[in-house]
Amino acid sequence: MRGSWPRLGFPALLLLLHLLTGSDAAVRNGTAKREIGDSRGSSGTCVKGFLQEILPLPATCPPEVLGMRGAVYILYDVNISEGFNLRRDVYIRMAVFVRRLQRRRRFRHVRLVLPPWPRLYHWHSQGLQQSGLPWSHFFDLASLRRYAPVLDYEEFLAEQRLFGNPGAPLVHVGHAFRLQHYEVMLEQGIFRDKFERVTDKPCSEGSLSGGPLLQQAELRVGRFHCVRFQGSAGLLEKLLREAIDEDTAGPEDVDDMRTYALLSAETVLHDHWGDEHFWQARRSMRFARRLEQVAADFRRQALDTTDASAGVQRPAMWELERPKRNAKGGDYLCAHLRRGDFVRSRDATTPTLKAAAQQVKQLLRGFNMTTVFLATDATPYELMELKELFYRFRLVHFAPESNVQRRELKDGGVAVVDQLVCAYARYFVGTYESTFTYRIYEEREILGFTQASTFNTFCKALGGSCSRNAVWPIVWADGDSDSEEDSDPY
């Protein structure tokens, strides 16, 4: 049976063949979009192309793409010098913002793309693959998604391939914004939310360094911007709307797919720090079940502690958690003793090993306990010294049981296990101004411990003056109260 192709003359067929080969070459070398210089060329609504003007091709958009009209992907990154626990706090800022943003009609299909984890400063172990790690290595993505529309980086690439534009596996990022602080932050002594694109100095890809996001081989950025930014995450909506307006030529482009990148996102402040929105996002950050199981097995075997014996609340879903203040904890004390750069940069508030041991032993005697679990970045030599200082007590420290487990957990996973063990202790004492300590405070607040057993800080010396971390109690809410009228004009 003959096909129904239109009757084309020989010259027309030659022209068609030339266009096809030229377009394919342009996509392969990644120049098709960059040479045009117009980010509207990468809309990705459905790639129709010139063939539909010549041949009667059927519509090619799959149903899952048609249901994502107007999708906006927000990639973000954090300065490479920032650690694991500060990055978790930056995630909360972005997640709370995106959760509220999706209530706007134009952003109803917004996605927050989680950046691959680079090899961080504190991950010292050699011989481990510790760069480009997905968020699923550390966190339960299903739990995160029940709070905000997030995608792991590989999931983002998979969705981009559905659109087929500009040519898988390349991904066109319409605008990349490098956020930076104002040199003068106060106006007549007043802090004001504001931002402005930098026009008084050159801004290029080289000036956007600071995080590894743009090193991902798949990303092709259309326009770079340096932006002075001062304020909370909600201010980002205006920045994104300006970019969408620049990329929209007319009504036919309104619902095109957009992809934008926000670099140095640690510059952005919380919209809702410490309130119920912050705590809902924080509660949704359940660790990966594999890591939670390793911690549970260790608590049971080394510390004779289970969820039931500790009296903590840990329902299957974070949404089922309720206010609680009667958790008992296991029969051990946890001490987070920060060493490393704190010994040099925070000498005024960081105790010596001997001073820390004196404080812990005093607490153990006061609570009639004999076991201390130690979470620390101390060197092997320092650990040996600490064991000698606790010779009449039982000092417990987590270490992977095999090289296989070490390769599976990696340094970041070992730190997560440390936090989960500290979270179940009868009493906790942490290091002044350590984000690792802050995250344990938060975990214990969620589990239902008293503030007196949680918000404790090592002093520089036993009996001396002491700087203490602030108390940040959990805030509960019966339901969301963040709905707003949609003022989006389109």
- Active-site residue numbers? 82
- In the numeric block, the tokens 């949704």 are attached to 284
Was 164 annotated as part of a binding site? no
SS3 content of the chain, % helix, strand, coil (to 5): 40, 15, 45
Was 336 annotated as part of a binding site? yes
Was 271 annotated as part of a binding site? no
Was 84 annotated as part of a binding site? yes
Was 83 annotated as part of a binding site? yes
Which residue in 88, 236, 263, 67 sits closest to 162, CA to CA?
Answer: 67
Cα-based torsion angle of the residue sequence 260, 263, 265, 266 in order, rounded to the nearest 10 degrees = 180
Was 305 annotated as part of a binding site? no
Residue 459 to residues 78, 151, 358, 369, Cα–Cα distance (Å): 31, 41, 11, 21
* Sheet arrangement for strand 219-230: 150-152, 110-114, 72-76, 258-263, 171-180, 219-230, 194-197
The SS3 assignment for 235 reads helix
Q: DSSP letter for 484, please.
A: -
Q: How far apart are CA 38 and CA 92, in angstroms?
A: 33
Q: How far apart are CA 167 and CA 363, in angstroms?
A: 62
Q: How far apart are CA 371 and CA 356, in angstroms?
A: 15
List of residues 6+ apart from 88 with CB closer than 8 A = 285, 439
Was 85 annotated as part of a binding site? yes
157 φ, ψ to 5°?
-60, -40
The SS3 assignment for 378 reads coil
Query: Which amino acid, 184?
Result: V
Was 165 annotated as part of a binding site? no
Was 55 annotated as part of a binding site? no
- In the numeric block, the tokens 């700087």 are attached to 467
Task: Please enumerate, by residue number, every residue annotated as part of a binding site for GDP-beta-L-fucose.
Answer: 81-85, 336-338, 418, 435-436
